[in-house]
Amino acid sequence: MSLDISFIGILIGSIMASSVPLILAASGELITERSGVLNLGVEGMMIIGAISGFALMVITDNLFIAIVGSMLSGVIISIIFGFLTQSLLTNHVATGLALTIFGIGLSAMLGKNFVGIPGKEFPILFSSLRESIPFFGPILFGHSIVLYFAFALPFLTNYFLKKTKLGLVVRAVGDSPVSASNQGINVILVRYCCILYGGAMCGLAGAYLSLIYTPQWIENMTAGRGWIALALVVFATWSPIKVLIGALIFGGITILQLHMQAIGFRIPVQFLSALPYLMTIIVLVVISRDSRKIKLNTPTSLGRIFYKEK
Amino acid sequence: MIKIEKRNDVPMALYFFTPFIAIILTILGGGIIFYILGFNPIEALKFYFITPISNLYGFSELLLKATPLCLIAIGLSFCFKSNNWNIGAEGQLTFGAIVGGGVALLFYNQEGFYILPLVILAGAIGGMVFALIPAILKTYFNTNEILVSLMLVYVSKLLLDYLVVGPWSNPEGFNFPETRQFSDSSRMPLLFEGLRIHAGIFLALAAVMLSWFTLYKTYLGFQIKVSGLSLKTAKYAGFKGKTMILVVFMISGACAGLAGVGEITGPIGQLHRMISPDYGFTAIIVAFLGRLNPFGIIFASLVVALTYLGAETAQIFLQIPKYTGQVFQGMILFFLLASDYLLFFKVKILSLKKNELRH
């Protein structure tokens, strides 16, 4: 295997592709968490997005419907979480876990008839430029529209949180729901919206896996990416741009271990496959050691139940 | 007209009654799902909840599946009561099974009364050590235990996969991903001829008794409950928070490890890839459904074990996909959490007449 310049370009392109579901899911969860809601159901929402996207693609043969439908299905399933945690004031952690267990079961049930069906090719943009420009071609061009959206999303999220009024409202609700409520902000409504938005992004992240990254339906195909996305939000200390960096690091590890497997590296395959999970633990340890830094950035009311006496 | 009031204190009777509401709602919800899938809901529910336990063999299978669920949930109740979110019991189960299975494989061609106790002990220690990883990282490095314990599930499953495919695979096994069969001395004694229920159930019952004693009759149990209710109070009372976190994780890991060993020395008899149908995750639901109470957990483990069994039966007789089991389990937890609303709020239905009188 030669390490020439065009190969590195292709490698970077594939790292970007593998980080897309992490960026989407983590950016969505980041908004949810900034509003003070800890939704551990990311894995469940992603897998529901993956199966509904794939099923809609097979049934309607229309990729646009499939993508939009996957986001809608993420929204629908996150409504359950929103209703329980916001209207019935249930514990966020337990409800999120229930959402993940429910989502994995439901997706396998719905997906029973879709196993083994080949996926459809997803259109890529600027495919001619990809071939003609060395190095930068495979990095910048020839990707799906979802990838471009994913790479813009952290910047959009950053702008939203820091520069817009609505972003300020979201942060206020997350940091001090009581004072936000006293200012006349409908805390529950804001949190509902953030939960549903998180659901939509997780649904899209799942659809990226089943429609674009590995176009087929496999049970449990998210394989813990939802949990890694949750870890990424902590890693990024709730900052959107750092989510992007973290997702690229994880994408890099994933691609690296695949390449090591391919060239027959002498380490057993299973150890290489375990790398992203081990890496998550190591990164969490390194980040969390400085407890002051974590505390400073964590949305103050994260995971706490807000109840307003009527 | 409906009026909602906040309750001042939670009525105990209702606290233990709402799980039944959750179960009834889940059965109704299941009927609706079967109807949507195109099955006769009454018939499907019958195959799901009655047929599996209508004979002695079925009942033994129910106890067989309830055993690991009960064991793990008992362990988890220690963690959850003290606000430690160990959700990696599946990994601790797997690692316990690996360590216990490793010991069993050392003695694969030997017999002796001492072998089974050694295997069981090794499994418990394995689970305990594996649970210590998130506990130590939480106490000394401030790391989120939810994410660490969960990541370790994937790591342990990959390790098991490596072992059964690679160094521990059966030399006479034609490259199947499985180890040798354990010797008879490494197997849990069967309780009845022809049924699969084994002595592991006594481990679960012992765990129930011990946990009841620990939680309600010892200083440690008191510390755990106080820390769960209010960390500030616990600190003020001078409890050693770090030690307690380590201890509850160790208890929880040991229980999960025992469950893993129970499976491989009981019905399975060797190591292979699929030693647990996610018992470690489902036990989280069992723990909540049982209200983190040792005796509640016995009841809850039987209910949830029935969803496993029912899913298998429904798949055989009606070709309903077996994943409905997980959907049921998720629904139980959803409905349980939702019905908790009744614990904290009083829903009053006022008649119009009364209202008019007041005005």
pLDDT tens per residue across span B2-61: 677 777 777 888 888 889 999 999 999 989 988 988 888 998 888 888 888 888 999 999
Q: Which range among A246-250, B154-158, B237-241, B290-294 shows the weakest confidence by mean pLDDT?
A: B237-241
| Yes or no, beta carbons of A106 and B327 under 8 Å apart | yes
Strand partners, B349: B2
- pLDDT attached to residue B351: 61
Q: How confident is the model at residue A24 (pLDDT cuts 50, 70, 90)?
A: very high
Q: How confident is the model at residue A143 (pLDDT cuts 50, 70, 90)?
A: confident
- pLDDT attached to residue B359: 47
Closest-CA distance, B83 to chain A, in angstroms, reads 11
Residue B338 within any structural domain of the chain: no
| Yes or no, beta carbons of A289 and B158 under 8 Å apart | no
Closest-CA distance, B338 to chain A, in angstroms, reads 6
CB pairs under 8 A between A and B: 130
Structural element, H or E, at residue A262: helix A240-262
The DSSP call for residue A210 is I
Closest-CA distance, B80 to chain A, in angstroms, reads 10
By Cβ distance, the residue of B141, B162, B326 closest to A270 is B162
- A270-287: per-residue pLDDT in tens? 888 898 899 889 988 988
Q: How confident is the model at residue B265 (pLDDT cuts 50, 70, 90)?
A: very high
Q: What percent of chain A has pLDDT over 90?
A: 53
- pLDDT attached to residue B298: 96
Amino acid (one-letter) located at B267: P
A interface test, pick of B333, B335, B347, B348 with most A CB neighbours within 10 Å: B333
Mean pLDDT of A82-102: 91
Q: What percent of chain B has pLDDT over 70?
A: 96
Tokens standing for residue A152: 């813009």
Q: What is the mean pLDDT of chain B?
A: 89
Nearest CA in chain B to A234: B144
Q: Is the pLDDT of residue A206 over 50?
A: yes
Residues with Cβ within 8 Å of residue B101, at least 6 apart in sequence: B119, B123, B168, B179, B182, B261, B264, B270, B271
Question: Touching check for B91 and chain A: CB below 8 Å?
Answer: no
Question: Are B145 and A231 in contact, with CB atoms under 8 Å apart?
Answer: no
- pLDDT attached to residue A258: 82
| Yes or no, beta carbons of B284 and A97 under 8 Å apart | yes
Closest-CA distance, A163 to chain B, in angstroms, reads 30
Rounded to two decimals, the ipTM of the complex is: 0.88
Residues with Cβ within 8 Å of residue B321, at least 6 apart in sequence: A108, A109, A112, B315
Question: Touching check for B152 and chain A: CB below 8 Å?
Answer: yes
Q: How confident is the model at residue A205 (pLDDT cuts 50, 70, 90)?
A: very high
Q: Is the pLDDT of residue B228 over 90?
A: no
Those of residues 248-267 in B touching chain A at CB distance below 8 A are none
- pLDDT attached to residue B1: 63
| Yes or no, beta carbons of A284 and B288 under 8 Å apart | no
Q: Which range among A27-41, A209-223, B3-17, B299-313 shows the weakest confidence by mean pLDDT?
A: B3-17
- pLDDT attached to residue A3: 58
Which residues on B lie below 8 Å from A223 (Cβ)? 154
Residue B242 within any structural domain of the chain: yes
Q: What percent of chain A has pLDDT over 70?
A: 98
Q: Which range among A69-78, A104-113, B86-95, B208-217 shows the weakest confidence by mean pLDDT?
A: A104-113
| Yes or no, beta carbons of A108 and B288 under 8 Å apart | no
pTM: 0.90
Q: For A5-297, CATH number? A: 1.10.3470
| Yes or no, beta carbons of B333 and A106 under 8 Å apart | no
- pLDDT attached to residue B236: 79
| Yes or no, beta carbons of A97 and B331 under 8 Å apart | no
Q: How confident is the model at residue B233 (pLDDT cuts 50, 70, 90)?
A: confident
- pLDDT attached to residue A276: 87
Question: Are A255 and A15 in contact, with CB atoms under 8 Å apart?
Answer: yes
CA distance A39 to A81: 8
| Yes or no, beta carbons of A270 and B326 under 8 Å apart | no
Q: Which range among B129-133, B264-268, B336-340 shows the weakest confidence by mean pLDDT?
A: B336-340
Which residues on B lie below 8 Å from A88 (Cβ)? 337-338, 340-341
A interface test, pick of B69, B84, B85, B142 with most A CB neighbours within 10 Å: B142
Closest CA to B84 of B246, B276, B281: B246
A interface test, pick of B7, B155, B339 with most A CB neighbours within 10 Å: B155
Residue owning tokens 């793990």: B72
- pLDDT attached to residue A269: 83
- pLDDT attached to residue A1: 46
Strand partners, B272: B178
Question: Touching check for B154 and chain A: CB below 8 Å?
Answer: yes
Closest CA to A148 of A159, A139, A157: A139
Residue owning tokens 């813990």: A224
CA distance B12 to B170: 54
Residue B29 within any structural domain of the chain: no
Domain boundaries in chain A?
5-297
Mean pLDDT of A221-237: 90
- A252-273: per-residue pLDDT in tens? 988 888 888 777 777 888 888 8
- A54-84: per-residue pLDDT in tens? 999 999 988 899 999 999 999 999 999 999 9
Q: Which domain holds residue B117?
A: 60-301
Closest-CA distance, B85 to chain A, in angstroms, reads 8
Query: How far are the Cα atoms of B69, B243, B254 from residue B88, in angstroms, in the given order?
Result: 14, 20, 12
Could you write out the three-class secondary structure of chain B? CEEEEECCCCCHHHHHHHHHHHHHHHHHHHHHHHHHCCCCHHHHHHHHHCHHHCCHHHHHHHHHHHHHHHHHHHHHHHHHHCCCCCCCHHHHHHHHHHHHHHHHHHCCCCCCCCHHHHHHHHHHHHHHHHHHHHHHHHHHHCCCHHHHHHHHHHHHHHHHHHHHHCCCCCCCCCCCCECCCCCHHHCCCECCCCCCCECHHHHHHHHHHHHHHHHHHCHHHHHHHHHHHCHHHHHHCCCCHHHHHHHHHHHHHHHHHHHHHHHHHHHHCCCECCCCCCHHHHHHHHHHHCCCCHHHHHHHHHHHHHHHHHHHHHHHHHCCCCCHHHHHHHHHHHHHHHHCHHHHEEEEECCHHHHHHHC
Structural element, H or E, at residue A17: helix A5-34
Closest CA to B189 of B179, B199, B180: B199
Which residues on A lie below 8 Å from B340 (Cβ)? 88, 90
Residue B323 within any structural domain of the chain: no
- CA A82, A84, A86, A87 torsion-angle sign: positive
Q: How confident is the model at residue B264 (pLDDT cuts 50, 70, 90)?
A: very high
B interface test, pick of A79, A100, A277 with most B CB neighbours within 10 Å: A277
Q: Is the pLDDT of residue B121 over 90?
A: yes
| Yes or no, beta carbons of B147 and A231 under 8 Å apart | yes
Tokens standing for residue A53: 């996207």
Closest-CA distance, B189 to chain A, in angstroms, reads 33
| Yes or no, beta carbons of A289 and B155 under 8 Å apart | no
By Cβ distance, the residue of A101, A268, A288 closest to B141 is A288
Q: What is the mean pLDDT of chain A?
A: 89
Q: Strands B345-349 and B2-6: what pairing? A: antiparallel
Those of residues 89-108 in A touching chain B at CB distance below 8 A are 89-91, 93-95, 97-99, 101-106, 108
